[in-house]
């Protein structure tokens, strides 16, 4: 009823200015989001403005350190794993130089370019965790452990034979120091001697058990054949007898 009265009488209506958020919300459905590679061209194309790329390389921990006081007073760290425009993950090399761009309006990722200016992808930012946040610290330790496993994986696979040879050499040296058999003939003799020792031990146990059984039977026979002579009522009992 109120809406009908307002629409019928202009005295109950007046124009007002829309807030910026209302204007943006009204036209947000018609906006088109540029893909990452198009935004990357805008950062690096001199015809569209200043080339914002800066040369950086990975630090000893495999990360990028970028500073921008407009975003954060402290240096920001970004991972060395890049998400390509196709959604794949690419691990950057440590000794190579890359062009990086930090978008001050979106500091959650770092834009990475190769040496020839080609866009590689975006590197996510590593958020600092409060030492009192136990779960956050555990999560970051897990992330760093995973990164270390990825970095050392190719090296471990490439030198797997060398590591196995080192272990075999150490085992060989330990056996030499301990005086263990080394040649196939010595190993077979040691096995034969071990079998002989086990047979002798079993025989000794059997003999010991048989001896114990015979001893127990002899003790039983002695107890059953012992005679006890009691004095009769006609004979006087004395404490001492002289022969």
More confident residue, 227 or 166: 166
How far from the centroid of its chain's Cα atoms is residue 130's Cα? 22
Mean pLDDT of 37-64: 81
At 71 the pLDDT is 77
Enter the tokens of residue 28.
């947000």
Mean pLDDT of 165-188: 80
- The answer as to whether 225 is a domain residue is no
Please, which pLDDT band fits residue 243 given cuts at 50, 70 and 90? very low
- The answer as to whether 187 is a domain residue is no
Q: What is the CA radius of gyration of the chain?
A: 46
- The answer as to whether 202 is a domain residue is no
Please, which pLDDT band fits residue 231 given cuts at 50, 70 and 90? low
Mean pLDDT of 9-29: 79
The total number of structural domains in the chain stands at 1
Mean pLDDT of 4-28: 78
Query: What is the tens place of the pLDDT at every residue in 34-45?
Result: 888 788 888 887
pTM: 0.49
- The answer as to whether 70 is a domain residue is yes
Domain enclosing residue 46, as ranges: 36-127
Query: What is the tens place of the pLDDT at every residue in 136-168?
Result: 788 878 877 877 777 777 777 777 787 778 888
- The answer as to whether 168 is a domain residue is no
Judge whether 58 and 64 are in contact, CB under 8 Å. yes
Please, which pLDDT band fits residue 205 given cuts at 50, 70 and 90? confident
How far from the centroid of its chain's Cα atoms is residue 126's Cα? 19
At 235 the pLDDT is 52
Number of Cβ within a 10 Å radius of residue 187: 12
- The answer as to whether 19 is a domain residue is no
- The answer as to whether 100 is a domain residue is yes
pLDDT exceeds 70 at position 240 = no
């Amino acid at each position: 009823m109120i809406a009908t009265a307002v629409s019928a009488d202009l005295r109950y209506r007046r124009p007002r200015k829309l807030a910026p958020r209302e204007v943006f919300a009204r036209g947000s459905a018609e906006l088109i989001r540029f893909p990452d590679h198009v935004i990357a061209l805008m950062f690096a194309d001199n015809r569209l403005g200043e080339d914002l790329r800066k040369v950086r390389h990975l630090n000893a921990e495999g990360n990028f350190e970028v500073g921008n006081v407009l975003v954060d007073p402290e240096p920001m760290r970004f991972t060395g794993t890049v998400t390509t425009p196709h959604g794949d993950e690419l691990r950057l090399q440590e000794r190579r130089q890359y062009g990086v761009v930090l978008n001050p309006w979106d500091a959650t990722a770092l834009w990475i370019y190769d040496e020839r200016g080609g866009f590689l992808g975006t590197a996510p930012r590593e958020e600092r965790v409060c030492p009192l946040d136990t779960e956050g610290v555990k999560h970051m330790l897990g992330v760093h452990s995973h990164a270390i496993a990825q970095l050392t994986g190719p090296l471990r696979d490439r030198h797997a034979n060398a590591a196995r040879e080192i272990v075999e050499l150490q085992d060989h040296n330990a056996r030499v120091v301990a005086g263990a058999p080394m040649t196939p003939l010595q190993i077979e003799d040691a096995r034969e001697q071990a079998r002989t020792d086990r047979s002798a031990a079993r025989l000794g146990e059997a003999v010991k058990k048989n001896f114990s059984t015979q001893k127990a039977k002899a003790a039983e026979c002695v107890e059953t054949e012992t005679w006890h002579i009691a004095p009769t009522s006609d004979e006087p009992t004395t404490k001492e007898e002289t022969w």
